[in-house]
């Protein structure tokens, strides 16, 4: 069987439970995986979850289809994992456990190692032994094991800000990374853990990820397996090892191989060099344990060189041409920007194109789990009833569940009684109760519905049609309150960033914001000094301004009833014009992981006089939000940020460079670097 898998994360986070359970039943989510053609689920976990399981607070017990997750009430994280793995086996899905990190949290362990000060290597191995003993007895209806292997550690990496993370034997940039270096040699540690696991269950597969860099040759965290060529693992039980790589596109990190000359062939060469050679040359099997892309069409398929879509479609094609290489997509999770589902966790993929591409390389499962062999009956007596101006409730008679089957329902909606029941009119699937609430509808509009019952064999015929009309729209009857917390921050000699606090929308209203500007304080906002209207968010960048000029601002909230009063006034002065820059700034991304990164900032005083007291200002070009910053105090307003010296570092001599600034931040989408910096109001050069 070729592993054609999906990652479903959450147990490794501070939630300590797979995500999506606030909206959907865990059995429905697993059925969705199965019905979409995936045969394996990779379940990340943390050592903290294993050793100190909690009763999760993020589980819902009802949705529009009725009760959900009833079996999980009062269960702790480990007990919930028991039920998830058991249900996966019932469906015929296989499970790979993934030790994603030590402490509960997001992404890989930042230190790049398989242990931390709180969770030692001894704990890491002991937790693996406990889980293997716990789940080795879980089998499907045919008696085959559900747990097929363990991914020993997620994304080991050497470069962690200090250059003392995990390395692979023979790495010339890590002093050769000898096997005697027990604190850093990853293959030696993986061998110790693998042999301990195989002593309990010699039939399990052992998945060993690569590192980031090998002798100065760098890739994504966990992707670089070049060291296997000279230093493969030798386990006590032969033929158990599968090497694993994680690969991503430029949306994750803009590697040097993503450029205007990138082609399918050049990408194939990169993959072959870092990991595919292991399978192609017959050394051992390979599993691409993570790869993922966003849900717009251009990110799934594109001919633009160096683009996200070119990378993803090329990798899918590469895997299609290498059927012996296993894979698992990151991730199922609807809250993830790479998510296969949307935030509702219903059975409709967030991107049909992406799912279509992945389906083309799946190793198909059998059409039904053992035992279920009968189509369900047609749902009867559907009734639709208006709930509000934007929602309709639908109910029907539950069908009799065939022996050894489980039944869910699919709901279809059309604009007339003659609408066709098809994928184009499907609005919900995986519904477990004989009722459904349809929301986000137009007021005073008639909608028509049909229902099908589904089990592992297939779909029933559609029910009779039912219809209802939404109620008339409610009227917005109140003006919003005044916005507060307005702050202004200069970005450059021509722009100022504004940020304010949003106000609650009155009943039946939606709120937007208008911004007003003047060159004098205590001004009266009017149509003559309004510079923008209809803003939905709480920030705005005012551009095309004069240099070294003070500007004053107020904001009003607006809804269908009218405008609020003005916010308290805020002001800022644009920077001095750039007339021969007297500073230079180098901004370097030191390391990057899913939704987070570390950056270093070096500031050079290129003037002929020393600086005594400094402020460095710049704006992030994306969604970046600083969580930690060292050797300066900082203020972030929207995407604009100002760094101020701490006193002990207030002076930068003429011609000197201050290179002790650094930060850790989160981001979504592409992590572009800032392009413009100003120091004490003067624009700096940027390489």
569 is catalytic: no
| DSSP-assigned letter for residue 312 | H
Neighbours of 263 (CB within 10 A): 12
Phi-psi label, residue 620: left if phi above 0, alpha if psi -120 to 50, beta otherwise: beta
Q: Which residues pair with 452 in a beta bridge?
A: 410
Helices 77-91 & 26-35, crossing angle to 10 degrees? 40
Do 452 and 461 form a contact (C-beta atoms < 8 A)?
A: yes
- Chain centroid offset of residue 576 CA: 40
Give the separation between CA 14 and CA 48, rounded to whole angstroms.
9
Q: Are 449 and 45 in contact (CB under 8 A)?
A: no
Integer Cα distance of 280 and 286 in angstroms: 9
- The tokens for 259 are 């450029």
Q: Tokens 């194939």 sit at which residue?
A: 268
C-alpha span between 74 and 341 (Å, rounded): 27
Q: What DSSP string runs through 452-479?
A: EEE-SS-B-PPPPPEEEEPPPPP---SP
Q: DSSP letter for 448, please.
A: E
290 is catalytic: yes
Task: Catalytic residue, from 226, 252, 290, 301: name it.
Answer: 290
Tell me how far apart the alpha carbons of residues 28 and 347 are, in angstroms, rounded to a whole number.
Answer: 8
d(CA 311, CA 299): 9
Q: How many whole angstroms separate alpha carbon 339 and alpha carbon 676?
A: 33
30 closest CA partner among 356, 377, 453, 456: 456
Cβ-in-10-Å burial (0-12, 13-18, 19+) of 198 comes to middle
E strands, 575-684, are 583-593, 596-605, 611-612, 615-619, 625-630, 633-637, 640-644, 651-652, 657-666, 677-679, 682-683
How many residues are given for the chain? 687
Options 16, 109, 155, 209, the catalytic residue: 155
Instruction: Taking the CA atoms of 245, 250, 253 and 254 in sequence, report the sign of the dihedral they define.
Output: positive
Looking only at the bridges linking them, the beta strands covering 496-501 and 484-490 are antiparallel
Distance of CA 235 to the CA centre of its chain: 34
Token pair 């007003």 is found at: 516
Active-site residue set: 155, 290
């Amino acid at each position: 069987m070729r592993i054609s898998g999906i990652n479903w994360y959450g147990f490794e986070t501070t939630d300590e439970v797979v995500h999506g359970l606030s909206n959907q039943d865990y059995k429905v989510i697993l059925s969705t995986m199965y019905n979409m053609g995936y045969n394996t689920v990779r379940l990340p976990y943390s050592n903290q979850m294993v050793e100190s399981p909690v009763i999760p607070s993020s589980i819902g017990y009802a949705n529009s289809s009725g009760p959900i997750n009833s079996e999980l009430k009062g269960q702790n994280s480990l007990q919930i994992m028991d039920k998830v793995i058991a249900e996966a086996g019932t469906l015929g899905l296989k499970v790979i456990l993934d030790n994603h990190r030590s402490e509960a949290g997001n992404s890989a362990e930042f230190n790049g190692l398989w242990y931390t000060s709180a969770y030692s290597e001894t704990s890491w191995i002991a937790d693996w032994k406990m889980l293997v003993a716990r789940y080795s007895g879980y089998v499907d209806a045919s008696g085959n094991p559900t747990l097929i292997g363990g991914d020993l550690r997620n994304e080991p990496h050497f470069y962690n800000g200090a250059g003392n993370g995990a390395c692979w034997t023979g790495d010339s940039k890590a002093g050769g990374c000898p096997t005697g270096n027990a604190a850093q040699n990853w293959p030696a540690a993986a061998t110790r853990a693998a042999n301990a696991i195989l002593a309990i269950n010699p039939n399990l597969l052992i998945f060993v990820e690569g590192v980031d860099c090998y002798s100065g040759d760098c890739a994504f965290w966990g992707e670089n397996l070049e060291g296997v060529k000279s230093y493969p693992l030798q386990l006590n039980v032969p033929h158990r090892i599968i090497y694993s790589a994680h690969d991503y596109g430029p949306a994750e990190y803009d590697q040097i191989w993503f450029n205007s000359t990138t082609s399918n062939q050049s990408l194939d060469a990169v993959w072959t060099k870092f990991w595919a050679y292991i399978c192609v040359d017959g050394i051992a099997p390979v599993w691409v344990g993570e790869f993922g892309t966003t849900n717009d069409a251009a990110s799934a398929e594109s001919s633009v060189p160096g683009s996200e879509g070119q990378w993803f479609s090329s990798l899918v094609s590469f895997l299609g041409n290498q059927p012996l290489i296993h894979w698992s997509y990151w991730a199922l999770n609807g809250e993830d920007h790479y998510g296969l589902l949307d935030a509702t966790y219903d059975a409709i993929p967030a991107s049909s194109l992406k799912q279509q591409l992945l389906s083309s390389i799946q190793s198909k499962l059998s059409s039904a789990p053992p035992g279920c062999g009968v189509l369900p009956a047609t749902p009867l007596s559907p009734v639709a009833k208006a709930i509000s101006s934007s929602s309709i409730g639908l109910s029907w008679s539950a069908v009799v569940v065939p022996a050894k089957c489980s039944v869910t329902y699919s709901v279809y909606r059309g604009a007339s009684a003659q609408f066709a029941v098809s994928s184009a009119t499907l609005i919900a699937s995986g519904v477990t109760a004989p009722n459904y609430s349809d929301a986000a509808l137009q007021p005073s509009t008639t909608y028509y519905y049909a229902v099908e019952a589904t089990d592992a064999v297939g779909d029933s015929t559609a029910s009779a049609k039912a219809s209802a009309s939404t109620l008339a729209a409610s009227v917005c009857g109140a003006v919003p309150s005044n916005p507060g917390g307005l702050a202004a921050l200069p970005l450059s000699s021509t722009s100022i960033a504004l940020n304010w606090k949003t106000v609650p929308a009155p009943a039946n209203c939606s709120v937007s914001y208008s911004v007003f500007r003047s060159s004098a304080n205590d001004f009266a906002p009017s149509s003559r000094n309004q510079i923008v209207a209809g803003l939905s968010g709480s920030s705005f960048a005012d551009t095309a301004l004069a240099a070294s000029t003070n500007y004053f601002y107020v904001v009003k909230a607006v809804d269908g009833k009218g405008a609020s009063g003005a916010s308290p006034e805020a002001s800022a002065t644009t920077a001095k014009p750039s007339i021969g820059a007297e500073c230079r700034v180098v901004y370097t991304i030191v390391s990057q992981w899913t939704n987070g990164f570390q950056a270093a900032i070096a500031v050079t005083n290129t003037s002929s006089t020393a600086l005594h007291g400094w402020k460095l200002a710049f704006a992030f070009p994306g969604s970046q939000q600083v969580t930690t910053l060292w050797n300066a105090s900082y203020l972030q307003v929207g995407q604009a940020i100002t760094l101020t010296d701490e006193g002990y570092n207030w002076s930068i001599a003429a011609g000197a460079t201050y290179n002790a600034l650094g930060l850790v931040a989160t981001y979504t989408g592409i992590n572009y670097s800032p392009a413009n910096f100003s120091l004490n109001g003067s624009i700096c050069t940027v390489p």
